[in-house]
Amino acid sequence: MFWNAVILALREIRRNVLRSFLTILGIVIGVAAVIVMVTLGDGATAQVTQQIASLGSNLLMVTPGKRMGPGQNVGAAPFTVEDAESLRRDIPQLAAVAPMASKSMSAIYGNANWSTQIAGSSNSYFEVRNWKTRTGRLFSDSELRSGAAICVIGGTVRSKLFGNQDPIGANIRLQNISCQVVGLLESKGQSTMGSDQDDVIIIPLRTFQRRIAGNQDVNIIQVSVRDGVSTARIQQDIERLLRERRHLSASDENNFNVMDMKEITAMLTSTTKIMTALLSAVGAVSLLVGGIGIMNIMLVSVTERTREIGIRLAIGAFEREVLMQFLVEAAVLSSFGGLVGITLALLSSVLLASLLKVPFIFNAPIVAVAFLFSGAVGLVFGYFPARKAAQLDPIEALRYE
């Protein structure tokens, strides 16, 4: 009975190819939209995760401010160099502690002018980020202590200011200080957020505080944990220590964050996830509209085929058999829409993924769910027309012109 209904449905669809295609268009678009969004979202998330994993899983970032939600902080007092010192002294499991302050401003060399990010930190920063110089050197202890006017530059800054020239030994102007380039960093390429990591100038923290910021603030402390030590444990140690140093009573919430890579990943991918969810919701609405389209066409079809239904009932079809026939027809129709949508989605996902430079990740569950859902849409929206067909009076139906 079921297979007969499937055969009848296929025959009926073949007879009205154009109409069937237009009917399923809503389903096609809905299914395709949902799958494309989820696939690209997965790709973006995977890319972020992969890049963060390449940074090393032993990195913790300590930032001031209360956590309001993913990626949102409210202001709180910045850290000081002493906070960083105390972390290094009291938590021996830390491999490196890099206090940091930064600001974006122009760097000038000769006629070249380039707006970039200036960061003040110590050699620990390069250790934490696992970053080496391509030519030249890092800072010496005495330069760090005295706040010498020297800098290490990233590859992008070098090419913007110096072209192919050797930058080592040259003096660049940052605001009102003249700063000698002592080192050129290896190229790191794009970061997880899509920003250029090589577009940076690093100077000693003391130099930054005294001559650029004019205060003692530290905006972020990056730390790396020794191999084989649990980051969760260290996270707690850092929190305890900083609560003490920031004079928080037991009832106060933390006014700073210690984020490990998992949290940073979550923070970075949350936007992607929200976008994916929103666009998928639009796709779902399209599925709903597609379902209504199917109901509409099925109602027309039932009216057009009143005589056929009359014949079937007269020669002994049960109500449920006629119901099944039209229900299966609607479900087959919308499943077709699902299949076409899936094909379309996979093709355009591959294309878009390569255009947006995110990896293409085949998400089998969402494809399966989209297919089942498209079939279900047919069943739900096909039920009313099918019931209408099944409940026709054979005598009336046979007389219908």
Task: In angstroms, give the least distance from the CB of 308 to other proteins.
Answer: 6
Using CB under 8 A as the binding rule, the residues of this chain from 10 to 29 that contact other proteins are 15
Q: Is 318 in the site for other proteins (CB under 8 A)?
A: yes
Q: Is 168 in the site for other proteins (CB under 8 A)?
A: no
Q: Is 1 in the site for other proteins (CB under 8 A)?
A: yes
DSSP string, 194-239: S-BTTSEEEEEHHHIIIIII-S--B-EEEEEEPTT--HHHHHHHHH
Query: Of 89 and 320, which CB lies nearer to other proteins in the complex structure?
Result: 320
Q: Is 310 in the site for other proteins (CB under 8 A)?
A: yes
SS3 of residue 133 by DSSP? strand
Q: How far apart are CA 347 and CA 32, in angstroms?
A: 10
Interacting residue with other proteins among 184, 312, 378, 389 (CB under 8 A): 312
Q: Which of 157, 113, 118, 111 has its CA nearest to residue 134?
A: 157
Interacting residue with other proteins among 132, 233, 307, 357 (CB under 8 A): 307
Q: Which of 175, 192, 252 has its CA nearest to residue 50?
A: 192
Task: In angstroms, give the least distance from the CB of 31 to other proteins.
Answer: 30
* Through-space distance between the first and last CA atoms of the chain, rounded to whole angstroms: 28
Q: Is 395 in the site for other proteins (CB under 8 A)?
A: yes
Strand partners, 66: 74
Query: Of 244 and 393, which CB lies nearer to other proteins in the complex structure?
Result: 393
Which residue carries 């002493």 as its tokens? 82
Task: In angstroms, give the least distance from the CB of 316 to other proteins.
Answer: 3
Q: Is 4 in the site for other proteins (CB under 8 A)?
A: yes
Q: Is 394 in the site for other proteins (CB under 8 A)?
A: yes
Residue 128 one-letter amino acid: V
Task: In angstroms, give the least distance from the CB of 36 to other proteins.
Answer: 38
The answer to whether 323 and 386 are in contact (CB under 8 A) is yes
DSSP string, 258-277: EE-HHHHHHHHHHHHHHHHH
Binding range to other proteins, per CB under 8 A, among 168-176, 179-187, 274-282, 315-323? 315-323
Task: In angstroms, give the least distance from the CB of 26 to other proteins.
Answer: 27
Classify burial at 80, counting beta carbons within 10 Å of its beta carbon; exposed 0-12, middle 13-18, buried 19 or more. Answer: middle
Q: How far apart are CA 129 and CA 17, in angstroms?
A: 60
Q: Is 313 in the site for other proteins (CB under 8 A)?
A: yes
- Count of residues near other proteins by CB under 8 A: 20
Query: Of 4 and 146, which CB lies nearer to other proteins in the complex structure?
Result: 4
Query: Of 293 and 310, which CB lies nearer to other proteins in the complex structure?
Result: 310
Phi, psi of 193 (to 5 degrees): -85, 5
Chain residues binding other proteins by CB under 8 A are: 1, 4, 15, 307-308, 310-321, 394-395, 398
